[in-house]
Amino acid sequence: MLRKYLYLMSVSAVNHSKFFRKYYQRRLKTKNRFGQLLKKKEALCAVAIKLIKVIFALLRDKREFQDTVSFALAA
């Protein structure tokens, strides 16, 4: 059930956030360990993992999310 909601959150994040949309598009261009391009669902799962990391970092640092496309800290 949690996996379902994380997936739906990642779909919403890709549709509404420049930061996560750019990350999603970048993941679509990368290859997996077998040398194949990532499928859309795999890229969305990567966004879900990134979303979890961002949420915990924001909670830890007591900050608000700012929707920027800077990947200096996002890589």
Q: Give the tokens for residue 73.
A: 């800290």
- pLDDT score, position 67: 81
- Calpha distance 64→8 (Å, rounded): 21
- Calpha distance 3→57 (Å, rounded): 20
Structural domain of 25 = 2-61
Domain contains 72: no
pLDDT tens readout for residues 10-65: 999 999 999 999 999 999 999 988 999 999 999 999 999 999 999 999 999 999 98
Domain contains 68: no
Domain contains 67: no
Domain contains 70: no
Residue type, position 64, single letter: E
Identify the residue whose tokens are 């924001």: 58
- The mean pLDDT value of the chain amounts to 90
- pLDDT score, position 66: 87
